[in-house]
A and B are shown apart, each in its own frame.
Chain A
Amino acid sequence: MTTNVSEPMAPAEPEEVEAHAKLLPELVSHLREHRTELREEWSTRIAGAHLLSSMTPQEIGSETSSVYDNYVEVLETGSVQALQRYARDLSERIIPRGVETHEVVGIVLLLRDVLARSLFKKYQQDFPLLNRVLDAYEPAANRIANTVAVSFVDERERVIRQQQDAIRELSTPVLQVRERLLILPIIGVLDNQRASQLTEQLLHGIRTHRAKVVVIDITGVADVDEPVANHLVKTVDASRLMGASVIITGLSSEIAQTLVMIGVDLNKMNTIGDLQGGLEEAERLLGFKVSKMEET
């Protein structure tokens, strides 16, 4: 019996630990014995609470029996490591199905209640014993609920971080359209973080592509706040220091107003209405001449 594994979950007093050491095996064998009926009761209550509605009854059945077995095992061994792994694994499977945090926490708390109820029923004749049983059961059960919830949230956050990274990588492409001409189409919300990422990508892009002219197209950006507008102006300055001139195209009226509000030096900013105009101007600066092929 291992109540005193690395982190004992029972209170530290020796006599209590001893009492729990005797009670928990009894408890576990009771839960094993009534596995089928308790599990069914639990499933009914899950359905009654309309939890896990995005999963089929078969899936719920198999997951609940694994959760139940894990739960009892943790009560027996006191080690939450296996449960942690299982919870993470479970989260990985059910997060893409759209299972919410409240549902996961909800089913674990339901199981806790179902088991506690059955303990009440079993020991209701002997109140002091019931008290001791609950003393042993409750900390362990709380710890299990805590572990499952934390694992689920951790997994969710990991997924979110992963997606953020993916978006960040995709969000500021630096494309070469002609020799020494780069274009940066920006779509969506331009916040502080994305703006500094844009600067970094642009400046390194200028270096690697040996760009002379850069067209930043912000047609897809509705509005920016003043710090971001300032940042844009600085980016243009920094590009100039690296020997590239920047043409900004597609300024919305809101962005234009913000730029005027922060008092931008218009001699430094080369802005043109739309992307086509910007590209034409860039080609002119680079000495390209684009002409239509004559039809034969």
Chain B
Amino acid sequence: MLVSILRQGDFLIASVHTALDDTELAAFQRDVVAQIGEHRSRGVIIDVAALDVLDSYGSHALRNLAHIARLRGALTVLVGIQPDVAFAIVQLGMEIDVLTALDLEEGVALLEQLTAGNRRGRSTVGMLGDTP
């Protein structure tokens, strides 16, 4: 198991356990996007804490994944980037314009804050008899 995708309420949590090659990354991308539709998720958290290297293709793929997920209606947060990985990413000039957070806990907090009032359990459409 290279990646586990778990559902946690409105969010999907995808943990990457080892470095992925190109085909595995593509499969991962497909899986996540499919599950967003399946579970009607509002947010995706990608945990890369186990990775101590991330090449340009990998970071590009993660960025694409975030953009695709956005189009499917889910916000993506990248969490657990290691210090060395973080600096390597900027050193190589790779643009990762994705939401990021320190770890899983922070990622969940960030998503909850950003999607507040937009949750599936709570209708945003006012109904007759609702007290405002």
Known: A203-B86, A210-B102, A234-B90. A241 touches B79 (CB 8 A): no
B79 to A203, Cβ gap below 8 A? no
Measured in the bound complex, the distance between the Cα atoms of B87 and A211 in whole Å is 17
- Listed residue (B84, B90, B101, B107) with the most chain A CB atoms within 10 angstroms of its CB: B90
Q: Mark A218-242, 1 if CB is under 8 A from B, else 0.
A: 0000000000000000110111111
B96 to A241, Cβ gap below 8 A? yes
A237 to B102, Cβ gap below 8 A? no
B96 to A244, Cβ gap below 8 A? no
Question: Which A230-263 residues have C-beta < 8 A from chain B?
Answer: 234-235, 237-244
Measured in the bound complex, the distance between the Cα atoms of B106 and A175 in whole Å is 21
Give chain A's interface residue range (CB within 8 Å of chain B).
10 to 19
B102 to A238, Cβ gap below 8 A? no
A238 to B90, Cβ gap below 8 A? yes
- A204 contacts which chain B residues (CB < 8 A)? 83
B91 to A242, Cβ gap below 8 A? no
B81 to A241, Cβ gap below 8 A? yes
Measured in the bound complex, the distance between the Cα atoms of B86 and A212 in whole Å is 15
A200 within 8 A of B: yes
Measured in the bound complex, the distance between the Cα atoms of B110 and A243 in whole Å is 10
B interface residues with partner A (beta carbon < 8 Å): 78-79, 81-84, 86-87, 89-91, 96, 100-103, 106-107, 110
A interface residues with partner B (beta carbon < 8 Å): 199-200, 203-204, 206-207, 210-212, 234-235, 237-244
Given contacts A241-B90, A242-B81, A243-B79, 15 further A-B contacts (CB under 8 A): A207-B82, A207-B102, A210-B102, A210-B106, A212-B106, A238-B86, A238-B87, A238-B90, A240-B100, A241-B81, A241-B89, A242-B102, A243-B101, A243-B107, A244-B102
30 example contacts (A-B, Cβ-Cβ < 8 A) are as follows A199-B87, A200-B83, A203-B84, A203-B86, A204-B83, A206-B102, A207-B83, A207-B102, A210-B102, A210-B103, A210-B106, A212-B102, A234-B90, A234-B91, A235-B87, A235-B90, A238-B87, A238-B89, A238-B90, A239-B86, A241-B78, A241-B86, A241-B89, A242-B100, A243-B79, A243-B101, A243-B103, A243-B107, A243-B110, A244-B102
